[in-house]
Amino acid sequence: MTTRQERYRSLLDLASTLRGGRISPIWSSGRVAFEADGVVHIVDGATGERTRASRLPQSDVPQGRHLRSAFKIGRPPVSEVPEPRGRYFATEVGDDLALRWSIDDRISPLTDDGTPDHRWEVKGSKWSPDGLQLLTRRVDTREMERFPVVHWLKPNEEVEFFPAGRVGGAVESTSLHIVRRISRRVVAIDSGPEPEQDLRPLGWSPDGREAYFIKTNRFKKPFTLMAADPESGATRVVYEQHVNTWVSYWEKGMGCTLLPSGSGHIWLAERDGWAHLHLHDMDGAARAQITSGDYAVTRLVAIDEPAGWVYFEAHSDRSRPYDTHVCRARLDGSGGFEQLTTEPGTHRAQFSPDASLFVDTHASMDRVPASDLRRADGTTVARLDEADPAVLDVWTAPEEFTVLADDGETVLHGQLYLPADFDRTSTYPVIESIYAGPNSAFVPTMIDDDNAIVSHALAQLGFAVVMVDGRGTPERSKEFHDWAYGNFADTVIPDHVAALRGLAAERPYLDLSRVGVYGRSYGGYYTARALLEAPETYHVGVAVNGVYEMREGNGPGPIECVMGPLEDNIEGYDRLDLHAMVDRLQGKLLIVHGTSDVNVPFSASLQFTEALVRAGKPFDFLPVNEQPHHFTGEHGVYLGMAKGRYFTEHLGVDAL
Question: Which neighbouring-strand residues pair with 415?
Answer: 400, 467
Query: Rounded distance, CA 427 to CA 423, Å?
Result: 8
Q: Over the chain (656 residues), what is each successive 10-residue block's mean pLDDT? A: 72 83 96 96 97 95 89 78 96 97 96 97 97 97 94 95 91 96 97 93 97 93 95 97 76 77 96 94 97 95 98 95 97 95 97 97 97 98 96 93 98 96 95 95 94 94 97 94 93 98 97 98 97 98 96 80 93 96 98 95 96 98 95 92 95 72
Q: Which residues are CB-neighbours of 415 under 8 A, at least 6 positions away? A: 365, 398, 399, 400, 401, 443, 444, 452, 455, 466, 467, 468
Write the single-letter amino acid at 656: L
- Which sign does the torsion angle of CA 523, 527, 528, 533 carry? positive
Kindly write down the DSSP assignment for every residue of 341-374, as one continuous string: --SSSEEEEEE-TTSSEEEEEEEETTEEEEEEEE
Q: In the sheet that 31-36 helps form, which strands lie side by side, from edge to edge?
A: 26-28, 31-36, 39-44, 50-53
- What pLDDT, on a 0 to 100 scale, did the predictor assign at position 250? 47
- What pLDDT, on a 0 to 100 scale, did the predictor assign at position 1? 42
**Contact yes or no for 243/257 (Cβ under 8 A):** no
pLDDT digits (tens, 9 = 90+) for 553-606: 767 878 998 999 999 999 999 999 999 999 999 999 999 999 999 989 999 999
pTM of the model: 0.95
Kindly write down the DSSP assignment for every residue of 543-563, as one continuous string: EES--SSGGGSS--HHHHHHH
Q: What is the DSSP letter of 9?
A: H
59: how many CB neighbours lie within 10 A of its CB? 16
- What pLDDT, on a 0 to 100 scale, did the predictor assign at position 655? 54
Q: In the sheet that 118-127 helps form, which strands lie side by side, from edge to edge?
A: 118-127, 133-140, 173-180, 186-188
Q: What is the DSSP letter of 192?
A: -
Measure CA 495 to chain center. 23
